[in-house]
Structure formats: C-alpha cells, structure tokens
C-alpha cells in the first residue's frame, strides 16, 4: 500500500514557531513530526510515500530527501497554490495509482496499529475507512456519526438522512488518518482546491459505504502552541515513543 502525508499547510496557528520552519519539521522529543509519521508507516511496511509541499516545502524536501536513509521511497507533490486535503490528493493521482492508499495529516501524532487498520478496511469493503476517536468535543472538531456496524452515516451533518438499521448513532471525531479508494477522486476537479470531506459526504449521499475504525491509543493534533507543548511533555514523560 502507498501513503500520502499532507504537509502543505501554513501552520498559522503555531506562529511564531512556524515563522521560519514548516510545521512538519517541528521536533517532538528531538524528532521532526513528519519523521514520526514516516517511521510509523515504515514499521508497518508502507515504504512508498508522497508528501505534498507548499509553505517552506524546500526545507521538508531537504530534510527527508528521497527517504533512502530510512529504507523508504519518498516523492513530492508541489503545490504553488494550496489545494486543500482533496485537491492535494487529486494532484498526486499520478503516484497513488489504482489501489486504496493511506493518508495521514502532517500535524497528526498517533500511535496506530496500521496493520489492523488496513485489515479492517479490506474486510469491510468500503470505499474509505476513517480513523475515529471518542471525544467529548467531537462536535467542535466536526462530528462523524456512525452506526453500530461502524458505518459512517454523516460527517458534519452531511451524508445520509438516516441510518438503515436500528440503534442510535455515535458521534466521534476524525483523527486525521484514512484509507480511501482512488475512485473517490475520479470526478473531482483538477488543479482546484477542495476538501476530501466533500468527496466523502457526496459518496455517503450516493449510498457508498464508508466505515469508521475506532482508535483509543495516543493521538495529538499538533495544531496549536498549547497542543505542541503537551505533545512535547507527553514524549518526555514516555507516554509516546518515537519509532526507530
């Protein structure tokens, strides 16, 4: 399986830390955040990776190169204009190919059993699988509603009008990691910014099956100075360990 790390963002909420360094290169326990993600993928034998670049992207490319020092093959997708989470994937179609691929947000720090995620995706047979977390503030992050079979019904209130089976829906939050089939991008506009969430909600409305994989281990969105400081403290306390 191939993977894409989304690393083109401006990191505005982390300024002034990101005035001179892109967010993916911010160190956590001495290891740049994006390297944590590369090593997570390598641990589970995902070695073909593409990274999209925009803000200070040359620094990311210089730090990682072709990935060979970690036994990986890394390519880059350059975005002179930011294309969003969906547009960035669309621009990388040439690399991602015809099979399902994994995507991880460049500001996500996570302890994830990728093998279990891939097996879940294959077993359930949906067009996509989103890693979800229980969070009391799920609605503030953007609620993902799923049924007792882990089928996602709505994202941010958009999708199916109601579930097919009985039972109350559960609200969770998207953890920034997903596997999707490239067919979701076939009809998407090229060279135009859009969110992959739009592709998901359109697919849900058409009746396509998308599932949620529940994640309960460590996760952090390094999106603010406060959360970055907490991730640093977590790493120093041994709550999360860098891969080797």
Identify whether 134 is part of a domain: yes
Residue 165 above 80 pLDDT? no
Please tell me the distance from the alpha carbon of residue 222 to that of residue 49, in angstroms, as a whole number.
21
Residue 135 pLDDT level (bands cut at 50, 70, 90): confident
| Whole-prediction pTM | 0.93
What do you get for the CA distance between the two ends of the chain, in Å? 21
Identify whether 244 is part of a domain: no
Identify whether 153 is part of a domain: yes
Residue 12 pLDDT level (bands cut at 50, 70, 90): confident
Helix ranges (H only) for 111-181 are: 114-124, 138-141
Identify whether 35 is part of a domain: yes
Distance set, CA 54 to CA 81, 141, 149, 176, 192 (Å): 7, 24, 39, 19, 15
pLDDT digits (tens, 9 = 90+) for 196-223: 999 999 999 999 999 999 999 999 988 8
Residue 244 above 90 pLDDT? no
pLDDT digits (tens, 9 = 90+) for 51-86: 999 999 999 999 999 999 999 999 999 999 999 999
Q: Is the dihedral of CA 91, 96, 101, 103 positive or negative?
A: negative
Domain around 34? 3-236
Q: Which position has the token pair 């996760």?
A: 219
Find the helix or strand (DSSP H, E) in which 103 lies.
strand 101-105
Identify whether 243 is part of a domain: no
Look at residues 162, 151, 159 and name the one whose alpha carbon lies nearest to residue 197.
Answer: 159
DSSP reduced 3-state for 203: helix
In 3-state terms the chain splits into helix, strand, coil percentages (rounded to 5) of: 35, 25, 40
Secondary structure of 59-93 as H, E, C letters: HHHHHHCCCHHHCCEEEEEECCCCCHHHHHHHHCH
Please tell me the distance from the alpha carbon of residue 27 to that of residue 20, in angstroms, as a whole number.
14
- Indicate the number of domains in the chain: 1
Identify whether 204 is part of a domain: yes
The CATH number that applies at residue 97 is: 3.90.550.10
Q: Which position has the token pair 């596997």?
A: 179
Tokens at residue 148, please?
């007792």
């Amino acid at each position: 399986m191939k993977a894409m790390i989304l690393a083109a963002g401006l990191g505005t909420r982390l300024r002034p830390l990101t005035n001179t360094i892109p967010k993916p290169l911010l160190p956590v326990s001495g290891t740049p955040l994006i390297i944590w993600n590369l090593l997570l993928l390598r641990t589970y034998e995902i070695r073909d990776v593409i990274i999209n670049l925009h803000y200070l992207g040359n620094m990311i490319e210089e730090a990682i190169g072709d990935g060979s020092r970690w036994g990986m093959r890394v390519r880059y997708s350059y975005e002179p204009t930011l294309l969003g989470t969906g547009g960035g994937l669309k621009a990388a179609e040439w690399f991602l190919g015809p099979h399902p691929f994994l995507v991880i947000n460049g500001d996500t720090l996570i302890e994830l059993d990728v093998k279990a995620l891939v097996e879940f995706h294959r077993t359930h047979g949906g067009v996509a699988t989103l890693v979800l977390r229980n969070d009391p503030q799920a609605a503030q992050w953007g609620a993902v509603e799923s049924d007792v079979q882990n089928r996602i019904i709505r994202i941010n209130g958009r999708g199916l009008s109601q579930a097919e089976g009985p039972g109350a829906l559960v609200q969770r939050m998207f953890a920034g990691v997903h596997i999707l089939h490239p067919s979701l991008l076939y009809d998407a506009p090229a060279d135009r910014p859009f969110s992959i969430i739009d592709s998901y909600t359109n697919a849900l409305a058409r009746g396509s099956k998308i599932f949620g994989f529940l994640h309960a281990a460590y996760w952090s969105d390094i999106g603010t100075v406060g959360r970055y400081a907490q991730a640093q403290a977590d790493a120093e306390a041994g709550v999360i360990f860098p891969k080797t």
